[in-house]
A and B are shown apart, each in its own frame.
Chain A
Amino acid sequence: DAGVIQSPRHEVTEMGQEVTLRCKPISGHNSLFWYRQTMMRGLELLIYFNNNVPIDDSGMPEDRFSAKMPNASFSTLKIQPSEPRDSAVYFCASSRTSGRETQYFGPGTRLLVL
């Protein structure tokens, strides 16, 4: 079975540009999570969806960040405009249902904003 798929795996962009990160969860999973990993702050939950509906976006750093899940098999995380401090590894994870289920992580997108 395919795991969580993320694209691109690496992204280098210049400050002020729009960045879109993509995620395809495991088929049949109803919950999707976006995390950010940095050396300074570790792993942080940005937002999560249940049945395509955003449930908690309290971790989204600011209005420059937005996330959507138009259907059960696709989600995007957008940063507009990007800033150097957004440089991080962004992970998408999915779980079968909401609650204390195991989350399965994608390989991550390594973002560098110059």
Chain B
Amino acid sequence: GDSVTQMEGPVTLSEEAFLTINCTYTATGYPSLFWYVQYPGEGLQLLLKATKADDKGSNKGFEATYRKETTSFHLEKGSVQVSDSAVYFCALSDEWGKLQFGAGTQVVVTP
């Protein structure tokens, strides 16, 4: 079945550092790919998405490119802020809309 694997956390960074969170997937069809972010005590919020190969999703300085050849959707941000501290989830959606999530990566940004 479909699955998502993302790097384990926590990832601890200093403010203004470069962030990368690796995400790879296994899917039988042509999924859409998502990054969701969860702040403490809150629900998940969509950060960005890509619906087909080579699409780049971007939002709030975060970017991820749908790489079909490497089945990856790595999240990057060039300069993180303390307010980016959260848990980040990579997910794929099949044709029916069922989301399969990775385990989540906690990111801690220190001043």
A contact residues vs B (CB 8 Å cutoff): 4, 31, 33, 42-43, 45, 48, 55-56, 91, 93, 95, 98-108
B contact residues vs A (CB 8 Å cutoff): 31-32, 34, 36, 41-46, 49, 51, 89, 93-104
- Interchain pairs with CB closer than 8 A, number: 55
- Contacting pair B51 A107 (CB below 8 A): no
Shortest A113–chain B CB gap in Å is 20
Chain B contacts for A100, CB-based, 8 A: 31-32, 51, 93-95, 97
Q: In the complex where A42-B103, A100-B51 touch, is A107 in contact with B43 (Cβ < 8 A)?
A: yes
Given contact pairs A43-B101, A98-B96, A106-B43, a sample of 16 additional A-B residue pairs in the complex whose CB atoms are under 8 Å apart: A33-B97, A42-B102, A42-B104, A43-B89, A45-B99, A45-B100, A56-B96, A56-B98, A99-B97, A100-B97, A102-B34, A103-B97, A104-B46, A105-B43, A105-B44, A107-B41
- Contacting pair B104 A101 (CB below 8 A): no
Secondary structure at the A interface, as helix, strand, loop or mixed, is strand
Shortest A88–chain B CB gap in Å is 14
